[in-house]
A = this chain, B = another copy of it.
Amino acid sequence: MGTTPANEWTEHALRTLADAGYRSSEPRQTVIETMAGQGCSVTAREIADVVRDEGSHIGLASIYRTLDLLDRTGLAQRFEVGEGSARYEPAYPTGEHHHHIVCDSCGDVVPFEDEALEQAIERLAGRVDFAVNAHDVTLHGECPACSAPPRR
């Protein structure tokens, strides 16, 4: 396996933080690697659980502090899908990104991309009097499994 987007983001994030004068501690590296390792978005607790399952341990507070740092430096994007806890995911320097569909029955979150949607938002952003620098789109509904007829 060669260079994946996740690997690239990990390195980009570590380098960016180092360049900005932040120290490279093991907890920070682990949080970043764990985020990259998850397919899509993660919550603070999910990171803690994954790390614990790998035999290590990072205090929840440190995870929150790292996530906050990543968000503030633009290395990650924070968003919520309405289930109480914040989700974070890597933000690629290319601006490339996706959005999410949430199953309101089982809580499943799956990503999607849509160029037409991005264009509509871009045009809109140019028309409003806010300086728009990010956007969230979340679709709500039921996943195929949940909208299937009840099992018996």
Chain A: residues with CB nearer than 8 A to chain B?
Answer: 78-80, 82, 86, 101, 103, 110, 112, 114, 116-117, 119-121, 123-125, 128-144, 147
Contact = CB atoms under 8 A, between A and B. Distances in A.
Q: Which 8 A-B pairs have the closest CB atoms?
A: A132-B141, A134-B140, A117-B120, A130-B141, A116-B120, A120-B120, A136-B138, A131-B142
Given A80-B82, A137-B135, A143 B130 contact: yes
A76 to B, nearest CB: 14
Given A80-B82, A130-B101, A112 B136 contact: no
* Chain copies in complex: 2
A131 B141 contact: yes
A129 B101 CA distance: 10
Contact of A129 (B82, B123, B131, B144): B144
A147 B110 CA distance: 34
Contact of A136 (B78, B125, B134, B140): B140
Given A79-B82, A101-B128, A124-B112, A137 B140 contact: no
Contacts of A121: 117, 137, 139
B132 A139 contact: yes
Contacts of A147: 130-131
Contacts of A119: 120
Contacts of A110: 130
A82 B143 CA distance: 24
